[in-house]
Structure 1
Amino acid sequence: MTTVVHRAGATLNTVRERGAVRAVVSQGIRGLSLPDGHGSWRGLDADVARAVAAAALGDPEAVQWLPTDPAQRLTRLVSGDADVATCNLSWTLGREAAHPVLFAGVTCYDGEGFLVRRADGMSSPEQLAGRRVAIQAGTTTADNLAAWFGRRGLRVEPVAYATPAEALAAYADGGCTAYVLDRIALAGARATLPHPEDHVVLETAISREPMALAVRDDDTGWFRVCRWVLQFLIGAENAVREEGGEQRAARTAADLAGGYGPALGLDERWAHRILDAVGTYGDIYERNLGPASGLDVGRFANALWSEGGLHYPLPLH
């Protein structure tokens, strides 16, 4: 194996000096990033941050969690307050063009949907025309609603709230007919309601929301580390699938990826530490969004490419 050893980027050096990765997360979305009763953050986004910390620092719990409202997510990253943003943040041209950030890869594919009361008998978003719907301020939801309903000669009245909790409360108390958010996040919100069975997430998605891991664009070394942490998670699951579920295949993939550690500014055990901390991408998804999580969100687009999904791992050799 012939590799070029890159000098560790300034961000990686700073993270090591600090002893922690500072990660922007949501203000609380079950299944993605939400503190448990012991103050530990749980969810798919939280586990991606842990994987970065495991690779860079050797400790998956060496994360400073920065819960942030949607309007400030990129601002906080760009200002230098954070090292990564893993907070159900959709990768768009507008965001990458307007801010000095780069998206290191898609963590979860989703689409914006609607949480409605089962008793209202709604089966399609068109039935919400003329109604008030709760959304989060600082997101692309209002634009998505205007575009989708506008094409059909319809409109809804979006009412923006600063936090997910406030938006959900406005829906729950009857002030709004629906709560509009990414469908995976809606599954988590539904589970927190007193009687989840009285509510349903409509099947229709009105947008494409490739949620992604973001970093500043001033440090290609750190960008490279974060990109390959995420790619290793996906590649390790792919290796297991290719070997018929044999878990040792993930360790073989870690050995292969580990050999390039020095070229990334890491050591040769970085990928093994990720497996020890959070497992493969499939393990992360199952733990946080699968049946055992209480949410039971199917893999769909988040399955591997070989199983009909969109996650196509880059080669680790």
Structure 2
Amino acid sequence: MSAVTIAPAVNEAAPGTSAGRTLEAVRRRGVLRAAVSRGIRGLSLQGPDGWTGLDTDVARAVAAAALGDAEAVQWLPSAPADRLEALSAGDAELTVCNLTWTVRREAQWPVLFAGVTCYDGEGFLVRTDSGIDDPAQLAGRRVAVQDGTTSAANLAAWYGRRGLAVEPVAFPTPADTLAGYASGECAAYVLDRVALAGERAALPDPQAHRILDTAISREPMAAAVRDDDADWYRLCRWVLQLLTAAEHHVDEAGEGRREEALAQAASLAGPHGPAVGLDEGWAARVLAAVGTYADIYERNLGAASGLGVPRGLNELWTRGGLYYPVPLQ
């Protein structure tokens, strides 16, 4: 993604530090196991050239830091209900699967959320010619949801407060849910609005469908790890912070000094790698592999992706968004 110099990966922890059980296991295996969705364009989708999406690029960033190879990832497509099961059972080291960070999930599962990957909200995909401009107009109608998600609960809460109700129809997979909506069986498809942009693009005539402006919930999608390894948690959290901090460095320096700004970010973050069993070249590897958060977003959800999802809340705080990265030193 950039001309940042890539330092060779170190496969042993620095003297006096602990790589952590998870990092050691990942290195013995030679791959990072990442739970992803079963197919949502823009987030995690398998195509002829492999897996693409914002979530998959986050997993690649972690693999670049831990293994020195961004492609050393074993993808584990997971149903919404199984996203944390794979992690807690030890079948995955990372879940990046359009999973919303909630207190209930951290309280009920032995997991911790390492950081937000995309701020979103539950929304509605409807037919353009339906005349529907507001979710309230769907009262009494059938709406398609993915089984195992929080969509039905969000619908009940939003409509219940208004003395209204809809009939959620749960489908087992994203493809089945989209088909249930496209067939006319349901008047709307309910999902996180970023994910709906990818689903809309998969329809034969995307322009015949629109995503309503209203979001009925807060959905900070986040990367999750098990709660039994503080070093691995810190490693994944640092990787996420690096992506937005590096964007801030480029933003301050200007695109004309992009490479200098990336090198500065890598030089500030790199020396802290040995604290979690990494070498000092980890940050340079991450930025060379996937770029900054802005690069990841643009590639997978922005204009370059064909989806054209505005950054909105996913901008840096200096541009009205919610990303305020911690300092790298």
Output the amino acid matched with 2:25.
Answer: T
State whether structure 2 residue 84 is matched by structure 1 residue 54. no
1:197 maps to 207
Q: What's the counterpart of residue 22 of structure 2?
A: 11
- Structure 1 residue 244: deviation in Å? 2.2
Matches within 5 A, 1:75-86: 75-86=85-96
* Deviation at residue 257 of structure 1 after TM alignment: 0.5
Contact 2:20/2:276 (CA < 8 Å) preserved in 1?
Answer: no
2:3 is aligned to none
Structure 1 length normalisation: TM-score? Answer: 0.98
Q: Report the 3-state secondary structure (helix = DSSP H, G, I; strand = E; otherwise coil) of the residue aligned with 1:194.
A: coil
* 2:277 equivalent in structure 1: 265
Tell me which residue corresponds to 1:65. 75
- Partners of 2:242 and 2:269 within 8 A in 1: yes
Aligned partner of 1:244 in structure 2 is 254
Q: Aligned with 2:162: secondary structure? A: coil
Letter in 2 for 1:313: P
CA drift at 1:6: 3.1
1:35 alignment partner in structure 2:
46
Which residue number corresponds to residue 315 of structure 1?
327
The one-letter code of the counterpart of 2:34 is A
Unaligned runs of 5+ in 1: none
Give TM-score, length-normalised by structure 2. 0.94
Secondary structure at 2:71's aligned position in 1?
A: coil
* Structure 2 match to 1:94: 104
Cα distance in 2 for residues equivalent to 1:287 and 1:256: 26
- Residue 291 of structure 1: aligned partner: 303
Q: CA RMSD in A?
A: 1.1
Does structure 1 residue 134 correspond to structure 2 residue 144? yes
CA–CA distance in structure 2, aligned partners of residues 160 and 80 of structure 1:
28
Kept in 2, the 8 Å contact 1:5–1:265? The answer is: no
Q: What secondary structure does 2:62 align onto?
A: helix
Measure, in 1, the Cα distance between the counterparts of 2:148 and 2:32. 25
Q: Distance in 2 between matches of 1:6 and 1:142?
A: 46
Q: CA deviation at 1:4?
A: 10
Is the CA contact (8 Å cut-off) linking 1:126 and 1:149 kept in structure 2?
yes
Separation of aligned partners in 2, 1:146 and 1:99: 24
CA contact 2:43–2:54 (8 Å) conserved in 1: yes
Instruction: Tell me the equivalent position of 1:160.
Output: 170
Alpha-carbon distance in structure 2 between the residues aligned to 1:5 and 1:254: 23
Q: Which has the higher contact order (CA 8 A, sep 6+)?
A: 2
Letter of the aligned partner of 1:46 in structure 2? T
The alpha carbon displacement at 1:276 in A equals 1.1
1:181 paired residue among 187, 191, 209: 191
Other-structure match for 2:226: 216
2:240 is matched with 230
CA distance in 1, matches of 2:229, 2:82: 21
Q: 1:234 offset after TM fit, Å? A: 0.7
What is the aligned partner in structure 2 of residue 277 from structure 1? 289
* Unaligned segments of structure 2, at least 5 residues: 1-13
The alpha-carbon distance between structure 1 residues 232 and 5, as it changes in their structure 2 partners (threshold 3 A), is farther
> Once the two structures are aligned, what percentage of the paired residues are identical?
66
> How has the CA–CA distance of structure 1 residues 289 and 5 changed in structure 2, closer, same or farther, with 3 Å as cutoff?
farther
Match of 1:25 in 2: 36
For 1:96 and 1:263, locate their aligned partners in 2 and report how far apart those are by CA, in whole Å: 25
Q: Which amino acid aligns with 1:305?
A: W
Residue by residue over 1:133-165, the C-alpha shift from the partner in whole angstroms, topping out at 9 and shown as x without a partner, is 000111111110000000011000001111111
- SS at structure 1 position matched to 2:76: strand
